[in-house]
Amino acid sequence: MPSLAQRLAEVKVSASAAMTQRARELRSQGIEVISLSNGEPDFASPPHAIEAAHQAALRGDTKYPPQGGTPALKAAIARKFKRDNGLDYAADEIIVGNGGKQVIFNAFMATLDLGDEVVIPSPFWISYADMAKLAGGVPVTVPCPQNNGFKPRPEDLEAAITPKTKWVLLNFPGNPTGAVPTEAEMRAIADVLLRHPHVWVMTDDMYEHLLYDGFEYHTIAQVEPRLKDRTLTVNGCSKTYAMTGWRVGFGGGPASLIKGMFNMQGQATAGVSTISQAAAAAALDGPQDFVKRNAEVYRQRRDLAVEMLNACPGITCHKPEGAFYVFPNLAGCLGKTSKGGRKIETDTDFVTALLEEKRVAAVQGTAYGMSPYMRISYATDTASLTEACSRIQEFCRELR
């Protein structure tokens, strides 16, 4: 039988996707499972975005799309960057992709040569490292300990950058930790990056509007304009506007980089659905008041999850500043045995037993580059979140 490409040997199936799929399989068998593994808002997409898509379809806007984004959407993205981030991007400095993931993938494929290094603060979203590997790059992780709020220390970032470094990747508010640096902390990161002009900077700001307790987020090119000409600012409609299935992400960066990404996208998927682009433009330009209302609901769920998880024997849970995840530490549960007889030696053992015995799906911290933790998404209804946390409490109480 013909073989698969060797490049796939270095790439794993996403642990969060695998856990979500396992939860779906159990549900298809009639087994009730509460899934806290998927980073997907439970809110509906904005009605005005849905209506814009409907009208686009009715007027026949259903042909092949412009490869890098429709003029209407690119104009809306430019307005968004100016309104929210104080950044000016021209049309040739903006690209639209099939979700933020494709924008990141395009950038890596357009810039990485074999052996180039990508510096990634850890814990990190699962796909960053694997996308870098697929493009021939080498992920270099920078540990961000809990006692520093899961944020990178400037000296650690400095130590990770070498002559081989092609990218430094930032993600705030962070997945899986919800970490949000202060403006002063971002300033310290910017100062490091200024000392290394050979390095591209990528910032994944997908959760930028999900902030709590008065925290504000300032993206890196906003904090330090001198970095703008080598920074790719990535964002999208998935999290802020609950539009995950519409698959619209976008990036702003220097025209030379965007041109290379445009070429790469043309060899992969070409343009994004015209219907989705019409919806995205309406979302970006339309009413924004519901964004803060949704964020307030997430804040309430965050507080609920943090309180209930900290009541679990053996678990300590840091309170994040943003996104819709918590990343509790499971160290106090290791070395014990579950009621069902599973020995809990790792965070993978913990989440596996939790799913099998209590029908709650979470994702092991190992998949994000840090253990022993687990990621829990509170982007689910409050009743289900409460029940899931009660089951986790029961699971921990039963450990012996």
CA–CA dist 81, 76 (Å, integer): 9
Confidence of residue 80 (pLDDT cuts 50, 70, 90): very high
Sequence length of the chain is 400
Structure tokens at 57: 């379809």
pLDDT at 2 over 80: yes
User: Domains plus CATH for the chain?
Assistant: 6-44+290-397 (3.90.1150.10), 48-285 (3.40.640.10)
Say what the pLDDT of residue 76 is.
98
Question: Where are the alpha helices (H) located in the chain, listed in sequence order?
Answer: 15-28, 47-58, 71-85, 100-111, 126-134, 154-160, 183-194, 220-223, 255-266, 274-285, 289-310, 347-358, 382-397
Q: What is the mean pLDDT of residues 339-360?
A: 96
CA distance 37 to 132: 23
What is the structure's pLDDT at 170?
Answer: 98
What span, in angstroms and rounded, lies between the C-alpha atoms of 268 and 230?
A: 24
Give the pLDDT band of residue 192 (cuts 50, 70, 90): very high
Mean residue pLDDT of the chain comes to 96
- Identity of the residue numbered 197: P
Average pLDDT on 73-93 reads 98
Mean predicted confidence (pLDDT) in 306-320? 98
Model pLDDT, residue 15: 74
Report the alpha-carbon angle 42-47-50, nearest 5.
95
Determine the pLDDT at residue 337: 97
Q: How confident is the model at residue 141 (pLDDT cuts 50, 70, 90)?
A: very high
Count of helices and strands (H, E) across the chain = 13, 14
Does residue 278 sit in helix, strand or coil?
Answer: helix
ω into 372 cis (within 30 of 0)? yes
DSSP 122-160: ES--HHHHHHHHHTT-EEEEEE--GGGTT---HHHHHHH
- Distance (Å, whole) CA 122 – CA 124: 5
Radius of gyration of the chain (CA): 21
C-alpha of 222 from chain center? 20
27-36, 151-160, 194-203: which has the minimum mean pLDDT?
27-36
Q: Are 274 and 56 in contact (CB under 8 A)?
A: yes
Q: 100 pLDDT band (50/70/90 cuts)?
A: very high
Do 100 and 236 meet the contact criterion of CB atoms below 8 Å apart? Answer: yes
Q: Is the pLDDT of residue 29 over 90?
A: no
Burial 31-46 (b: 16+ CB within 10 A, else e): eebbbbbbbbbbeebb
pLDDT at position 223 is 98
The per-residue pLDDT for 61 is 97
pLDDT confidence tier of residue 305, bands split at 50, 70 and 90: very high
Percentage of residues in the chain with pLDDT exceeding 90?
A: 92
pLDDT at 10: 81
Residues forming a β-bridge with 322: 211
Neighbouring CB atoms inside 10 A of 113's CB total 10
Model confidence over 44-76: pLDDT tens digits?
A: 999 999 999 999 999 999 999 999 999 999 999
Two structure tokens written together for 348: 């993978």
Provide the pLDDT for residue 20.
Answer: 77
Asked if residues 269 and 237 have their Cβ atoms less than 8 Å apart, the reply is no
- 212 pLDDT exceeds 90? yes
At residue 377, what are phi and psi to the nearest 5 degrees?
Answer: -95, 130
**pLDDT score of 227 more than 80:** yes
Phi/psi for 372 (5° steps) reads -95, 100
Residue 1 has pLDDT above 80, yes or no: yes
